[in-house]
């Protein structure tokens, strides 16, 4: 009987309204503290970012002009421009995309849909994840030995494109695999149940429905590649190119030329690096201005990624 | 696994048994009223019939509720549908007992025609059949139910015997016709009660074995072993 | 006096001592021999884990999609006597003759039209007019046409759960299957949608052999002609549905059907 009363008193305490209220207040307080902490951290990060941007803009905004964009680099800071640099960036990105995307998607589709689940596949998966973390300069060294010296591709656009492609390939593969994995097994089963082969299921359903995620991953990988400097320096990007590569389009049959692939190249980050290494202040300003342009290019690519993802997300929800 | 429905089925079973006990006492009472020439008892039997009717309605409602809400299957389903039909048979038995009591009241307006021998014998046999068919229901005893079906022949024979005897009375002495006819009626009533007991027994066999043997000829019964 | 003549209808498919092992080792089906009558509905009932869905998925080789699974025994599809679980037979061929509707409605995230047309498109090029006709007929057979005839180009996801499931049925019907497998098709739907699907199955079974796995015994009772009760990977009893629910032969079946276990 006393046990009864003992138990009851415990219960009474927990349903005693004042005790409960105190508990709720304590939880609320903890809630608010946590929210506040999060806000502070986020504000700090934003402030740092904002400081960087403002510093860059302050230094470089004045120098940004149409003339700056269409001039070649020059020994005279006031005449120097980034024409060859941004054209170079675009061409290199084009090559990188052309190489990395098909290879990356193909590898991811194979690994996710076709490869048997054994130790070898696991090994490959682990290695891909590792490769994503390898320092970019190591890729540069490898490319130098393999592409420049072994295959004699020279210090050219082709080499640059292939180097960066190898760099971002693991990222593309991983992003594509995640996107493929997000397609629920019920959809695959539905396709198989109707009599589709594996290839038909992948081609008609799995890949199209994961396109949003795949594209997002690709664009993010490319925007990382835009900023890579170390590997390109290693394979021989020049920092003073006062000319443009040969045009890929010609006026005569077959209207396509591959000469430009073997031309020497430069890209935006390298141009910036070159200018910042010079002692003159004007070149530093040039570098800041180039930085602003580069930042805008990166932001544009990210915006593109977000739009693409949103458009695909609207249609598909699991 | 014990479930709610088991309780409800048990309750239904007790309801049937209570009704059965009441009906048995109705039959017994009506014959006693005849033998003892007890008009009061007969009147009470007639009044109590409404109680039996109420029980019948209750059981019906109970069964409908079980069917609608629990959707019983197999054995349980057979039990519930059998209970509904048994309740109807019991109610008819009580109606017949009421009719017997009415005849008893009428018979008491004149002196007793003859010592009652056959009718009490028939009554005992019939009441045994009623008791046994309800027993078979309680114990799910198909063998006992089959015995009840077989016993019906005996009651039929007694009815014919009674009729022949009363017929001879009527031919000899026309003044006895009214009483003789009433007694014949009572004999027939007992035979009908026995038939209802047989019906209940057939229903019990269906409930236990899942075979419908109603409306089949008796020889089929004895052939069927499994 | 009416005489019940219980003529056994023709058999559409029949499993003979079918056993199944997940991952090659875990035995989920123990030597099941079950005949599936032609153009009737056969229900598979039993407690969770008894193997009814496993059995169903053997019939259209869905287990092949996941590595390591092993079949033993045979499942014959008539009238040609093809052994469904024979490893030399291409599962695609089987799936083109036997369709499946799943527990949770799983339409493709494309248009209603494309959902129904997909099965036909992958079989080769069919002229557009013919395709339109088949799509319309399939949607009519699935009791969905009146609700979608004006919005075939809309996304399938805009439909309600019950409509999506009927769309999946239309998708399965479009390819003209000989047998349709239903894996608990209404367990994710509300009572009204469930009733419509049951009506549909009752109509369809006159033209297509149907095998339906269900947790809901009342559904099995309402919809099927034959019911098979399975327990722990074995077939306990299979008989006409009315017999199973009024007077089953096996005690275990009776216990399950009266709700006394599982």
Q: Each residue of A235-276: pLDDT tens digit?
A: 876 667 777 777 776 666 666 777 778 888 888 888 888 888
CB contact under 8 A, C247 and B210: yes
Strand order in the sheet with C70-77: C26-37, C11-22, C70-77, C82-83
The reply to whether C100 touches chain A by the CB within 8 Å rule is yes
CB contact under 8 A, A190 and C106: yes
Categorize the per-residue pLDDT at A294 as very low, low, confident or very high, splitting at 50, 70 and 90: confident
- String of DSSP letters for chain A: -HHHHHHHHHHHHHH-HHHHHHHHHHHHHHHHHHHHHHHHHHHHHHHHHHHHHHHHHHHHGGG--HHHHHPPP-SSGGG---HHHHHHHHHHHHHHHHHHHHHHHHHHHIIIIIS-SSHHHHHHHHHHHHHHHS-HHHHHHHHIIIIIIIS---SSHHHHHHHHHHHHHHHHHHHHHHHHHTS-HHHHHHHHHTT--HHHHIIIIIHHHHHHHHHHHHHHHHHHHHT--HHHHHTT--S---SPPPPSB-SSTT-B--GGGGS----HHHHHHHHHHSS-HHHHHHHHHHHHHHHHHHHHHHHHHHHHHHHHHHH---
Q: Each residue of B148-189: pLDDT tens digit?
A: 999 999 999 999 999 999 999 999 999 989 999 999 999 999
A164 in Cβ contact with A232 (< 8 Å): yes
CB contact under 8 A, B3 and C260: yes
Q: Each residue of A177-222: pLDDT tens digit?
A: 999 999 999 999 999 999 999 999 999 999 999 988 898 888 889 8
**pLDDT recorded at residue B224:** 44
The H-assigned helical ranges of B71-141 are 74-107, 118-139
A257 in Cβ contact with A246 (< 8 Å): yes
**pLDDT recorded at residue A252:** 67
Categorize the per-residue pLDDT at A25 as very low, low, confident or very high, splitting at 50, 70 and 90: very high
C259: which chain B residues are within 8 Å (Cβ-Cβ)?
A: 3, 5, 73
Q: Is A168 left (phi over 0), alpha (psi -120 to 50) or beta?
A: alpha
B73: which chain C residues are within 8 Å (Cβ-Cβ)?
A: 217, 221, 245-246, 257-259
Q: Taking 50 as the threshold, does the pLDDT of residue C1 lie above it?
A: no
Per-residue pLDDT, averaged over C201-216, amounts to: 94
Categorize the per-residue pLDDT at A316 as very low, low, confident or very high, splitting at 50, 70 and 90: low
Q: What is the ipTM of this complex?
A: 0.92
Name subunits touching A (3+ CB pairs < 8 A). Answer: C
Categorize the per-residue pLDDT at C163 as very low, low, confident or very high, splitting at 50, 70 and 90: very high
> If we measure between CA atoms, which residue out of C241, C205, C242, C239 comes closest to residue C12?
C205
Per-residue pLDDT, averaged over A120-136, amounts to: 92
**pLDDT recorded at residue C4:** 44
Q: Each residue of B94-127: pLDDT tens digit?
A: 999 999 999 999 999 988 888 888 899 999 999 9
**pLDDT recorded at residue A7:** 61
Categorize the per-residue pLDDT at B220 as very low, low, confident or very high, splitting at 50, 70 and 90: very low
CB contact under 8 A, C254 and B210: no
* pLDDT > 90: percent of chain B: 79
C95: which chain A residues are within 8 Å (Cβ-Cβ)?
A: 192-195
Categorize the per-residue pLDDT at C2 as very low, low, confident or very high, splitting at 50, 70 and 90: very low
CB atoms within 10 A of CB A270: 23
Categorize the per-residue pLDDT at C33 as very low, low, confident or very high, splitting at 50, 70 and 90: very high
Per-residue pLDDT, averaged over C130-158, amounts to: 93
The mean predicted confidence, pLDDT, of chain A is: 85
* pLDDT > 70: percent of chain B: 93
For the four alpha carbons of B215, B221, C1 and C4, in that order, the dihedral sign comes to: positive
Q: What is the distance between the alpha carbons of residues C111 and C117, in angstroms, rounded to a whole number? A: 10
> Comparing A88 with B123, which gets the higher pLDDT?
B123
> Comparing B127 with C6, which gets the higher pLDDT?
B127
**pLDDT recorded at residue A169:** 95
CB contact under 8 A, C168 and A316: no
In Å, how far are A169, B104, C72 from C28, measured between CA atoms? 43, 73, 11
**pLDDT recorded at residue A273:** 86
Q: Taking 70 as the threshold, does the pLDDT of residue C164 lie above it?
A: yes
* pLDDT > 70: percent of chain A: 90
CB atoms within 10 A of CB C31: 15
Q: What is the distance between the alpha carbons of residues B105 and B125, in angstroms, rounded to a whole number? A: 23
Buried b (16+ CB within 10 A) or exposed e, A90-100: ebbbebbbebb
C168: which chain A residues are within 8 Å (Cβ-Cβ)?
A: 190
Per-residue pLDDT, averaged over C17-37, amounts to: 93
Q: Taking 60 as the threshold, does the pLDDT of residue A140 lie above it?
A: yes
Categorize the per-residue pLDDT at C252 as very low, low, confident or very high, splitting at 50, 70 and 90: very high
């Amino acid at each position: 009987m006393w046990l009864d009363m003992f138990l009851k008193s415990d219960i009474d305490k927990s349903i005693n309204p004042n005790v409960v209220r105190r508990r709720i207040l304590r939880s609320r307080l903890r809630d608010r503290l946590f929210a506040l902490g999060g806000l502070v951290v986020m504000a700090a990060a934003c402030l740092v970012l904002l400081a960087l941007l403002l510093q860059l803009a302050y230094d470089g905004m004045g120098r940004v002009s149409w003339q700056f964009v269409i001039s070649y680099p020059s020994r005279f800071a006031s005449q120097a421009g980034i024409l060859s640099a941004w054209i170079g960036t675009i061409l290199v990105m084009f090559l990188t995309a052309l190489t990395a995307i098909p290879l990356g998607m193909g590898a991811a589709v194979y690994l996710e849909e076709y490869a048997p689940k054994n130790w070898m596949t696991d090994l490959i998966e682990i290695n891909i994840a590792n490769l994503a973390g390898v320092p970019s300069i190591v890729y540069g060294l490898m490319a130098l030995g393999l592409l420049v010296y072994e295959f004699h591709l020279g210090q050219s656009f082709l080499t640059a494109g292939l180097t960066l492609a190898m760099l971002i390939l693991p990222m593309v593969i991983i992003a594509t695999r995640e996107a493929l994995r997000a397609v629920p097994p019920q959809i695959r089963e539905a396709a198989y149940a109707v009599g589709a082969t594996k290839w038909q299921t992948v081609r008609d359903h799995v890949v199209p429905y994961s396109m949003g995620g795949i594209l997002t991953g690709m664009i993010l990988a490319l925007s990382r590649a835009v900023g890579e400097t170390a590997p390109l320096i290693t394979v021989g990007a020049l920092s003073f190119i006062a000319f443009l590569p040969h045009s890929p389009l010609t006026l005569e049959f077959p209207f396509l030329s591959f000469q430009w692939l073997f031309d020497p190249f430069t890209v935006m980050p390298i141009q910036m690096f070159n200018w910042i290494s010079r002692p003159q202040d004007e070149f530093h300003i040039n570098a800041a201005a180039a930085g602003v342009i580069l930042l805008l290019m990166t932001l544009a690519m990210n915006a593109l990624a977000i739009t693409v993802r949103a458009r695909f997300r609207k249609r598909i929800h699991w | 696994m014990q479930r709610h429905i088991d309780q409800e089925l048990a309750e239904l079973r007790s309801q049937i048994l209570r009704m059965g006990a009441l009906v048995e006492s109705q039959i017994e009472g009506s014959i006693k009223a005849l033998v003892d020439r007890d008009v009061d008892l007969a009147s009470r039997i007639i009044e109590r019939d409404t109680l039996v009717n109420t029980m019948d309605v209750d059981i019906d409602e109970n069964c409908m509720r079980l069917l609608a809400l629990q959707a019983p299957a197999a054995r349980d389903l057979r039990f519930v549908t059998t209970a509904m039909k048994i309740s109807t048979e019991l109610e008819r038995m009580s109606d017949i007992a009421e009719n017997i009591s009415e005849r008893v009241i009428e018979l008491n307006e004149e002196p007793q025609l003859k010592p009652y021998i056959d009718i009490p014998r028939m009554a005992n046999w019939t009441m045994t059949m009623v008791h046994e068919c309800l027993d078979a229901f309680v114990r799910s005893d198909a063998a006992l139910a089959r015995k009840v079906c077989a016993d019906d022949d005996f009651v039929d024979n007694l009815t014919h015997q009674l009729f022949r005897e009363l017929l001879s009375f009527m031919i000899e002495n026309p003044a006895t016709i009214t009483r003789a006819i009433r007694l014949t009626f009572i004999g027939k009533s007992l035979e009908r009660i026995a038939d209802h007991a047989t019906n209940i027994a057939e229903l019990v066999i269906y409930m236990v074995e899942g075979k419908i043997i109603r409306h089949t000829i008796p020889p089929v019964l004895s052939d069927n072993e499994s | 006096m009416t005489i019940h003549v219980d003529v056994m209808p023709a058999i559409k498919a029949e499993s003979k001592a079918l056993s199944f092992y997940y991952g090659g080792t875990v035995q989920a089906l123990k030597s099941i021999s079950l005949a599936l009558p032609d153009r009737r509905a056969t229900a598979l009932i039993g407690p969770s884990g008894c193997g009814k869905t496993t059995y169903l998925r053997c019939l259209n080789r869905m287990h092949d999609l996941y590595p390591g699974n092993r079949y033993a025994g045979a499942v014959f599809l008539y009238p040609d006597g093809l052994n469904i679980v024979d490893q030399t037979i291409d599962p695609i061929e089987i799936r083109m003759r036997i369709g499946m509707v799943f527990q949770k409605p799983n339409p493709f995230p494309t248009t209603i039209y494309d959902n129904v047309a997909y099965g036909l498109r992958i079989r080769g090029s069919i002229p557009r007019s013919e395709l339109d006709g088949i799509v319309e007929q399939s949607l009519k057979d699935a009791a969905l046409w009146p609700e979608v005839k004006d919005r075939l180009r809309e996304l399938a996801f805009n439909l309600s759960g019950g409509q999506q499931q009927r769309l999946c049925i239309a998708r399965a019907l479009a390819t003209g299957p000989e047998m349709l497998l239903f894996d608990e098709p209404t367990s994710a739907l509300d009572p009204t949608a469930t009733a419509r699907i049951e009506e549909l199955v009752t109509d369809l079974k006159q033209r297509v052999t149907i095998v339906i796995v269900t947790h809901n015994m009342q559904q099995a009772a309402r919809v099927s002609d034959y019911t098979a009760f399975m327990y722990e990977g074995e077939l306990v009893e299979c008989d006409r549905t009315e017999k199973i629910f009024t007077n089953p032969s096996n005690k275990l079946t009776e216990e399950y059907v009266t709700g006394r276990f599982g």
